Amino acid sequence: MSPWGYLLFTGWAALAAVLVEGGWLAGLALVEVACGLLWNRAGLRVLRQPHFWAFVLAAVAVGPFLIGEPDVTWGPLHLSRAGLLAGLEMAGRAFVLMLALSLGAASLSLSDVVAVFDRLGLRGLGFAVALALNLLGTLQEMATVVLQTLWLRGGTRRPVLALRLFLITTVANLLRYGDEAVNAAAVRAFDPHKRQSVPLPLRQADLWLLLLLAGCTGVLLAAHVV
Amino acid sequence: MSSYSVRSWVTIGLFGALWTVVEMTLGSYLHVIFPPQANTFLAGVVLGGLGVAVALTGRHFVPERGSVFLIGVVTALLKLLSPGGVRLGPSVAILVEGALMEAVLWLAWRPRRWAFVAGGALAVGWNLPHKFIMMRLLYGQGVLEVYTKMVQEGSRMLGLAPSAAWLILAILLLVYLIVGAIGGWGAWKLGGAVARRLGRRDLAASEVSR
């Protein structure tokens, strides 16, 4: 599938997560899990993270206590059935929304994002994102070297001055890297205003996805009308 | 964005990367050091303050309009696409912080010290409502009822008036705003100091000359 397909799915799933209610959220979750199993299991990795479940299940845990009037007594606890249902719905909505975004982010690589920016006429932004990603490790290394140098030269004795020197040196070094990157871009005749003809065609799988999503939307609309 | 040169885009990428490095390294430390309850507030204050300082320092070296917002866009994308998993909340917060700083700089027309301070304060101040707005977006309408009940029950348990919750929120907001203002002021000073050392145009000097 092309990046357009992934973007379409993510947008559709996020919109549906906000619009659908009740048991339909479970259906939407099933569609998302099925799509994740089909094309990118890395996107489902979020389901193995404890903090994801803690966030989702928090709504189920507090719902019976804080929403609606208590109508069930369970030992010392006074619970609300309406609150439990509302909590389940809140948890379901959080689940499908976070899973949709996780699938989208896991399916799109950085080169996909840069290519999409190129096609949208935002070539400079794609270039900036790619440059930033490539420089992350270098920047971390550079900041560590500056910090250790200041430390070895007695920076701990005058911490305010050391902090000032650290910040100035880090930003100055950053801009020096910038000069090198500008030179490298000039050597390659990079022009942020020129539209590059990077092909990013729709694929057959995108069409199938479009049909599937149209079908799902139809079912949801029909159920809403009925 | 037609006025942006290659150097502008490079500088935007560099400051976006620096903001991401701050988020990734310091953010990881903060999440380990502080318990989850303190984390939401402390991490927001520290990372927000440093983030606005980085982005506004970048404005010194990319004098075009929209550059601070674009630094935020680069950072948010890197955060969203980072291998550690999707972090929707921080990515949205970074985007909104960038937009708020840019809006204040846009209103000020030309870079001024007060615009940096106000932009920084507003951007970090966003971290307080952000949590509630994201919860509302993710959980839906029901979360409002949960908030109301939690404030009522909490104030009853602590023997405080429910209005005390507003006071606590106001104090928290004040802390955010002060830290953001310091971040903006620090960015103004830092950008100027680096620009002078590198022999580049200093925004503070141009502000005085006007």
If you average pLDDT over every residue of chain A, what do you get?
84
B31 located within any domain: yes
Its sign, for the CA torsion A159, A160, A162, A163, is positive
Q: Is A212 exposed, middle or buried (0-12, 13-18, 19+ CB in 10 A)?
A: middle
- Tell me whether residues A185 and B61 touch, CB distance under 8 A: no
Distance (Å, whole) CA B68 – CA B55: 6
Query: Looking at the predicted structure, is the pLDDT value of residue A211 above 70?
Result: yes
| Least CB–CB distance from B14: residue in A89, A93, A135 | A135
Distances (CA, A) of A135 to A139, A177, B110, B204: 6, 9, 30, 29
Domain containing B129 — which CATH number? 1.10.1760
For B125, residues 6+ apart whose C-beta sits below 8 A from its C-beta are B173, B176, B177, B180
Per-residue pLDDT at B209? 47
Query: Looking at the predicted structure, is the pLDDT value of residue B149 above 80?
Result: no
- Closest to A63 measured CA to CA, from A84, A77, A89, A81: A84
Cβ–Cβ < 8 Å for A63, B147: no
A chain contacts of residue B88, beta-carbon cutoff 8 Å: 98, 101
B1 located within any domain: no
B79 located within any domain: yes
Q: What is the ipTM of this complex?
A: 0.82
For chain B, the domain total comes to 1
Cβ–Cβ < 8 Å for A66, B149: yes
B chain contacts of residue A62, beta-carbon cutoff 8 Å: 146, 150
- Tell me whether residues B10 and A139 touch, CB distance under 8 A: no
What would the pLDDT profile of A73-102 be if each residue is shown by its tens digit? Answer: 888 888 888 888 888 888 888 888 888 888
What would the pLDDT profile of B33-62 be if each residue is shown by its tens digit? Answer: 766 555 667 778 888 999 999 999 999 898
If you average pLDDT over every residue of chain B, what do you get?
83
Q: Which two tokens stand for residue A207?
A: 């069409």
Bridge partners (DSSP) of residue B65 are none
Cβ–Cβ < 8 Å for A210, A8: yes
A chain contacts of residue B157, beta-carbon cutoff 8 Å: none
B156 located within any domain: yes
Q: What DSSP element (H or E) covers A178?
A: helix A159-187
| Least CB–CB distance from A193: residue in B2, B85, B88 | B2
Higher pLDDT, A136 or B95: B95
B104 located within any domain: yes
Higher pLDDT, B2 or B133: B133
- Tell me whether residues A182 and B6 touch, CB distance under 8 A: yes
Provide the residue ranges of all domains of chain A, joining segments of one domain with +: 3-108+201-225, 122-187
Least confident of A18-27, A88-97, B69-78, B138-147: B138-147
Domain that includes residue B112, residue range: 6-209
